[in-house]
Amino acid sequence: MDAGRRPSPARTALLWLALVATVAVIAWLTVVPELRAGGTGSTGGVNLVPGTEIDRGLHSGAGGPRLNLVGNVIMFVPLGALVALLVRAGFFTRVLVATVIGALLSVGIEATQYAVGRVADVDDVILNAAGAFAGGVVAASLAAASSRSRSRPTVDGA
């Protein structure tokens, strides 16, 4: 959908519903288990050195660190796609807004995890933002392609 065309109210409502559901799933996966357990009992910590956990995940032979990398990216792809579809703007603005929203949500998650005794990790924010970016690029690309196909005249000129 291009920036000048108004989406149907039903489509917009479905996109918002899907976005709320996506945020709920992300919260359930990242924060709720710790809140239910009353935290870890530890003092938590903060990793502010970008790339530390990403490097460990890429160079570790274990599946857990790699799964953490992939999971942190994939978890935010739907969020980025939905935000990009809700934004009525051009390609780059859609992608930028999706990425920023993903990064802000991730910072909130990391702050909550720190507050309940888990480690807050800048690499999680980087990976989550990358996932939101990827989802934003896919959705903005589809929206741009859809907009071009609607504005293209038909063969018979109608």
What pLDDT is stored for residue 154 in this prediction? 57
Q: Encode pLDDT of 11-66 as tens digits.
A: 999 999 999 999 999 999 998 776 665 555 556 789 889 998 898 888 887 677 88
Cα gap 75→128, rounded to integer Å? 7
Contact at 8 Å (CB) between 132 and 80?
yes
Cα gap 17→91, rounded to integer Å? 23
Contact at 8 Å (CB) between 135 and 80?
yes
Q: Is the four-CA dihedral 15, 21, 26, 27 of positive or negative sign? A: positive
What pLDDT is stored for residue 2 in this prediction? 46
Average pLDDT, the chain: 87
Residue 106 DSSP SS3: helix
The partner residues of 121 in beta bridges, in order of sequence, read 47
E-state strands within the chain: 45-47, 119-121
Task: Tell me the pLDDT band of 125, cut-offs 50, 70 and 90.
Answer: very high
- H or E element at residue 41: none
Task: Tell me the pLDDT band of 95, cut-offs 50, 70 and 90.
Answer: very high
